[in-house]
Chain A
């Protein structure tokens, strides 16, 4: 939606930097929003070790579903994706989001039905952005 595509998703995906200091900050935020492992009857609360690996951590929080992605595939972690992202500002805050061509690539590679449904809309959005810039 931030890129201009008329798509609404139910969850928020975050790719985090896997260093101890950042993960400590991340755990502080997750604690504040009562994050627990999704679809888990024990309602396990996340620990630092969860976020040091390579998998996807799916959480329920008081603010809604939240997916923490250690990496998409080898080399596509926070550091690998930084050069393929754009910074957006909201007041004094900066948020880094993957750029539209990268988002299209990631969803195409994911290949799940919900991702494939989004790809044509994202490509059309990229084309309309390009048209507006006079490309």
Chain B
């Protein structure tokens, strides 16, 4: 799915090249781009890159702990 012709992002050569590559190799993925929730992306881009990495590590730890707790609960 192409960006609207009046969207300047669609005219960016890097974005256009990436979309062209997807159209050739895996067109299903082009449609999926429209379904992406961009609120987390926009929020993340407004923050310092390393704070995003720290948050990522924190999230990974949380998910590991959650997985461990669920495994413990299911055994009980």
Contact = CB atoms under 8 A, between A and B. Distances in A.
Interface in B36-64: 36, 38, 40-42, 44-45, 49-50, 52-53, 56, 59-60, 63
A123 interface: yes
B19 A123 contact: yes
Contacts of B42: 128
Given A2-B53, A120-B36, A130-B12, A8 B45 contact: no
Nearest to B29: A119
B6 to A, nearest CB: 13
Interface in A92-133: 101, 104-105, 108-109, 111, 116, 119-121, 123-132
B32 interface: yes
Contact of A8 (B11, B22, B59): B59
Interface of A: 1-2, 4-6, 8, 10, 88, 90, 101, 104-105, 108-109, 111, 116, 119-121, 123-132, 134-135
Given A1-B56, A123-B22, A126-B14, 11 more contacts: A1-B52, A1-B53, A5-B41, A8-B59, A88-B49, A111-B26, A119-B22, A120-B33, A120-B35, A127-B15, A130-B14
Interface of B: 3, 8-9, 11-12, 14-15, 17-19, 21-22, 25-26, 29, 32-33, 35-36, 38, 40-42, 44-45, 49-50, 52-53, 56, 59-60, 63
10 contacts: A4-B41, A8-B60, A108-B21, A116-B26, A119-B29, A126-B18, A128-B38, A128-B45, A130-B14, A130-B15
